[in-house]
Structure 1
Amino acid sequence: MADGRIITVFAAKGGCGKTTVATNLATVLHDRGAHRVCLLDLDLEFGDAAGMLGLRPERSMVDALPAADQLTPETVASLMTTYLPGFDCLLAPTRPGDAQRIPASLVSRLLAVLPLVYDFVVVDTPSSFGANVLAALDLADHQILVTTPERPALKNLRVTLDMLDLLPYDRTARSIVVNRSDARSDLPTLLLDELVRSPIAGHLPTWDGVPASINRGEPLAAAQPDHEVSRAIRQLAATVLPSDGRCSRDPPPGQNQPST
């Protein structure tokens, strides 16, 4: 039985900062090695996770195709690109046409195996519904929906929520995050609530340091852990943790970790 938790990050409109949220969330959950984390870049056509983390994509999900039916915790290790010890990435394909070769059955199989290896699997998705995205939403322990405080993005979020409500998903395992949410957006809170019509889990202020952190290949949560955005991401991370605040692999309070 899987031990790790799957967090699927989705935005119905491009440009909302979804990948930035996903990479920083994975960084916070990794917690400097306290947890084993896998960031899965499911944006198969235009995945940005490698660029965000300054990684060279020598392996990708397409390398899982020859043994798709025999994936095990041991075989998935060969697919990974390591960002930090205990923080691995399963990157999107880079060759033209490879994205179309990835079936939803492979995504489902990967998401069945990865939680056996990692405490947290953060899935960064494309900004469109499809079989692969639905597989990631189906298997998620928690869904994070990212938007920005502009009417087109909020309209798309409202449509997304209506679609998700038609599916058998637990509404309590869903968090809405408004990125770049501050006075500069000039959108009154009451109007925002009226447009979304669902509880908002977090507001992330404008990320002034993001371009520089992306160019360095270092998430803001790692470079500036005391930044107000990093603190907001930590608050978001708390919403995806188990109710006791511990990862499933952590021992009960007062019990020591088994020796290795």
Structure 2
Amino acid sequence: MLQISICDDNLDELTNMVRLINLYSASKNLSCEHAVFPNGFELVSALEKGKRFDIYCLDIIMPGFTGIDVAKEIRAFDKTAPILFFTSSPEFALESYSVKAINYVLKPISKEKLFFTFDELLEQLHSKKEEDSVIVKSSEGLQKILISNLAFAEVLGRSVLYHLRSGRVVECTEPFSAVCDKLLRHTCFIKPHRSYLVNMQYIDTVENHRLTLQSLSSVPIAQGKAREIRQQYLSYQMERE
């Protein structure tokens, strides 16, 4: 189920967007729900209450709280969700990139424009989902592990243990070098020790000899690598800002 938010202070534009998105989802046999917001304040209020969306469709020129302002608030809650700007003016195109908007579409929004934009967006989302996972072979068979669910991996004897954020551990028999090749392609992973790979989004503290994760698990840092690990972690956090 795809969750879409639509924010526009113009009721006619809001109604048109809902109509076009309904047409699109029907034509693609896509399961989705949408929520409409007549101003940015109501959308941000929903986010503050814990509501999240897979896609954000924002008008830019809105009184009091512009679409750019709303997008900055969204990024405080969600660094990666696609933001689509729909606007009558091209003057904010450059500023839209500061909040990592995925597209910038000029009004009026026609069926052709919206269908083309959403086709591109869903293709990117599909590709991202494929990239952000690994397939592993355990005693239970082939399993797909989402990168966002993987806290760390370690080698123990001839086994590789994948520690998921839920606390579940998936045990596989495969060369750790192959695991390193797969996971280090993702910029969120570091190798603090020859036997461990850690997803930096789950790091709580970096000390001289160990990493403490949000789950309170402890991962050793190899002798002499603490400075390098701190720098990698700092760079990762700065890129996410």
Query: Aligning the two structures, in what range does the TM-score lie when normalised by the shorter sequence?
Result: 0.3 to 0.5
TM-score, length-scaled by structure 2: 0.40
TM-score, length-scaled by structure 1: 0.38
Greater helix share, structure number: 1
Greater strand share, structure number: 2
Greater C-alpha radius of gyration: 2
